[in-house]
Structures are given as C-alpha cells and as structure tokens.
C-alpha cells in the first residue's frame, strides 16, 4: 500500500474528462465567435482586434495562473483585469523597438475601453447564442475618459504642408493629391488609399466610397471640387505605367499603405515647422471643422463623413477658439442688454 501511495506523489489528479474541459475552454469559445463573425463578413481590421484583445486577456489569465476555462471568468475577475490595466500594466512591455521612456505604467482609459469593448461584444454574442449561461461582462461599465482638446490644422499650416511636395516627382505629386483628397472629400485614410479607378466619376465630379471599404459598410458618394478631380485624373494618367486598379500607388506600382503615407506626412510636418502631431485623420478633423465654420450644416456633414449616428458627427466639431470668440461676440446676451449708446467706443489717440 505504501508503494502505491509513493507512486501518486507529485502526479496530477484527473477528475474531469478531457472532452468536458474542452467544451468550456476559452480557445473553443473564441473559435465559435471568430467563425461566426467571419461568416457575417466582418471587416479584417475588426477581426484582428478580436484576436488581439482576446490574446491580451488570456495573457492576463496566464499571469494570474488561471486556467483558460469560461467558468473561471467572473465579473469580479474582469474588474480586476481593468484595474490591473489601468494601474499596473506596462505600456509596450517586451517591445524591443520602443525606448524605455515610452514604457510607462498604466494604460490609458481609451485603450482599456477598446480592449474591454471587444471582450464585451464577444461575450454578448456567446450569451445570445446560448453558448454560455452567464455573461460576466454584462454589468461592466466603460472607464471614464478625459476629453482632450483635439487640435486641427490652421489654414496657414495646410498651405505650408501643401507647398512642400515637389510636384515634378511622382511620389511627392501623389502625396499632394492625397492630401487634397483627404481635405476636400473628408475621407478616412483607408478609404482614400482603397480608391479604385472605377470609383471616380468624371462627369459628376463625385467619388464613390464602396461599402466594403467604408467603416460602417454603407456605400456613399462624395462630391469633390473640379480642381481635385483634375488632380486625380492627372495622377491616373501617371499611373498608366503600372498595371493597377488603385489610384494611390508607390513608385513601384504597389498600393500605398497607411504607414508609408503617415511617415511621409511626418517628414513634411517637420520641414514645415509644425509642432502638432500630424496624422492622416487630422485632415478629416480639420475639414469637418472648416466646413462648419464656413456655414455648413451638421446634417450635410453627417452625410459627407458617412456616420449613421448623429452624435458621432459632434466629435468632429472641435471649433477653433477664434470661431468661438467670434460667435460669442456676435450672439452674447449682453448685446441685447446693453444699449448701443453704452457700448464700448473707439477712442482716437
């Protein structure tokens, strides 16, 4: 009997069948959601975020020594995960290309909400499909986010950026055309870079943003100025040397990538002496702001930007301080209270 006991020492005791444990594994749950979302035609970027944010959660479980079992995921565990991300997680931990000063402690509320938002969507799907009996994310609220003041480009800064590309060089002329399109059509960068020859209507001066490249999968048609159309047509002529259906190409005829253009944009900003963080989406913010300041209305802006939810349009209305000052001077209640005779007078000196 003693020999039997000795043989058991240090060995793992098996209580559950493998098939039962596999049924509740987080890996299996992920495969169920991922396959369903692929079948729904979800965009590749969204699928990548599902995989990435799920991986982050599993890494946290591994750090805690918690088995990848759906029954181990409780609301309390999710809240502990959020607190850890906010207060203990090191940004870019293990990233060999990031400098040490960038590896600060604690993720931003925006990043945490992004990671949790993906998990909430996936667990809601599992619950709705009756794959799980309890949704631990159901009562989880988003972390409160600060609302930072978002910079937009001034007219002078835009002119500086547009003056820098040497339009005698193919790549710089392409950059000039792309910046013009981003401003005039208020496109997202991926929408602009995915434009094909067939998306340009020469007769109506309109651009079609196809459903498969639009963020909300709704096709929309955007008017552009005649000057912008002519620039696009000139670029299309230059592209005849390449066999491509796309408009914005590299020197080798491949489709231009976001990172490629973002890096080139940074170099233009440095040459222009612009200290703001310049990125492609800033053109969309700037264009929307200038549209409103020039008298455009929110409903038309909503159609141009391609937002279903009207509240989303308000995120792009970061009116400049000058505009706010002018509006206040024009519509201040004090204008009605104070008679014209009592208003400030110009004093000649």
Task: Give 191-230 pLDDT, tens digit per residue.
Answer: 999 999 999 999 999 999 998 888 878 899 999 999 999 9
Both 91 and 159 in one domain: the answer is no
83 with 216, same domain: the answer is no
Q: Which of 148-157, 161-170, 194-203 has the lowest mean pLDDT?
A: 148-157
Say whether both 294 and 189 belong to one domain: yes
H or E element at residue 327? helix 321-331
Assess if residue 330 is contained within a domain.
Answer: no
226 and 177 within one domain: yes
Same domain, 188 and 255: yes
Give pLDDT, residue 318. 60
Query: CATH number of the domain that 172 lies in?
Result: 1.10.443.10
Q: How far apart (Å, rounded) are the C-alpha atoms in residues 317 and 291?
A: 9
Can you tell me the mean pLDDT for 102-118?
Answer: 87
Total structural domains within the chain: 2
pLDDT at 339 over 80: no
Whether 74 and 204 map to the same domain: the answer is: no
Question: Around Cβ 305, how many Cβ atoms within 10 Å?
Answer: 21
> If you write DSSP's letter for every residue of 241-259 in order, what string do you get?
GS--SBSSB-TTSPBPPHH
Residue 16 inside a domain? The answer is no
Most confidently predicted of 40-49, 150-159, 170-179: 170-179
**Residues 71-79: what's their mean pLDDT?**
95
Q: Do 235 and 177 form a contact (C-beta atoms < 8 A)?
A: yes
- Report the distance separating Cα 289 and Cα 300, nearest Å: 13
Do the domain assignments include residue 133? no
Q: Are residues 225 and 124 in the same domain?
A: no
Tell me the per-residue pLDDT of 9-21, one tens digit each, with 9 for 90 and over.
655 554 443 443 6
- Per the structure, the complete domain to which residue 213 belongs is given by 155-319
The domain boundary, picked from 81, 110, 128, lies at: 128
Quote the pTM value: 0.64
Answer yes or no: are the C-beta atoms of 60 and 79 closer than 8 Å: no
Q: At what angle do helices 44-64 and 75-87 cross, to 10 degrees?
A: 90
Same domain assignment for residues 66 and 165: no
Check whether residue 257 and residue 222 sit in a common domain: yes
Strands lying side by side in the sheet with 220-223: 200-201, 206-209, 220-223
- Measured N-to-C along each axis, helices 258-272 and 280-293 cross at an angle, to the nearest 10 degrees, of 70
């Amino acid at each position: 009997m003693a020999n039997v006991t000795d043989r058991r020492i240090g060995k793992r005791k098996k209580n559950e069948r493998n098939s039962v444990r596999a049924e509740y594994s987080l890996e299996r749950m992920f495969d169920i959601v991922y396959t369903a979302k692929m079948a729904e035609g979800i965009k590749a970027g969204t699928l990548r975020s599902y995989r990435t944010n799920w991986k982050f959660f599993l890494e946290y479980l591994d750090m805690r020594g918690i088995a990848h079992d759906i029954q181990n995921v409780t609301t309390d565990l999710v809240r502990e995960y959020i607190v850890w991300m906010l207060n203990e997680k090191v940004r870019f931990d293990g990233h060999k290309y990031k400098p040490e000063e960038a590896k600060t402690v604690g993720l931003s509320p925006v990043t945490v909400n992004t990671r949790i938002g993906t998990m909430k969507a996936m667990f809601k799907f599992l619950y709705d499909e009756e794959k799980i009996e309890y949704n631990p994310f159901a009562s989880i609220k988003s972390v409160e986010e600060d609302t930072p003041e978002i910079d937009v480009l001034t007219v002078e800064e835009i002119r500086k950026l547009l003056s820098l590309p040497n339009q005698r060089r193919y790549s710089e002329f392409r950059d000039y055309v792309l910046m013009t399109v981003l401003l005039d059509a208020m496109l997202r960068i991926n929408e602009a870079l995915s434009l094909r020859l067939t998306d340009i209507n020469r007769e109506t001066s309109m651009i079609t943003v196809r459903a498969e490249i639009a963020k909300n999968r709704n096709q929309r048609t955007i008017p552009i100025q005649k000057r912008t159309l002519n620039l696009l047509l000139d670029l299309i002529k230059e592209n005849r040397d390449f066999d491509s259906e796309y408009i914005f190409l590299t020197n080798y005829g491949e489709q231009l990538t976001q990172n490629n253009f973002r890096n080139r944009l940074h170099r233009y900003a440095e040459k222009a002496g612009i200290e703001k963080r310049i990125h492609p989406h800033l053109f969309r913010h700037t264009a929307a702001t200038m549209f409103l300041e020039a008298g455009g209305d929110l409903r038309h802006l909503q159609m141009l930007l391609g937002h279903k939810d009207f509240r989303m349009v308000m995120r792009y209305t970061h009116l400049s301080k000058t505009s706010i000052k002018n509006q206040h001077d024009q519509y201040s209640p004090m204008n009605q209270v104070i008679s014209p005779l009592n208003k400030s007078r110009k004093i000649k000196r």
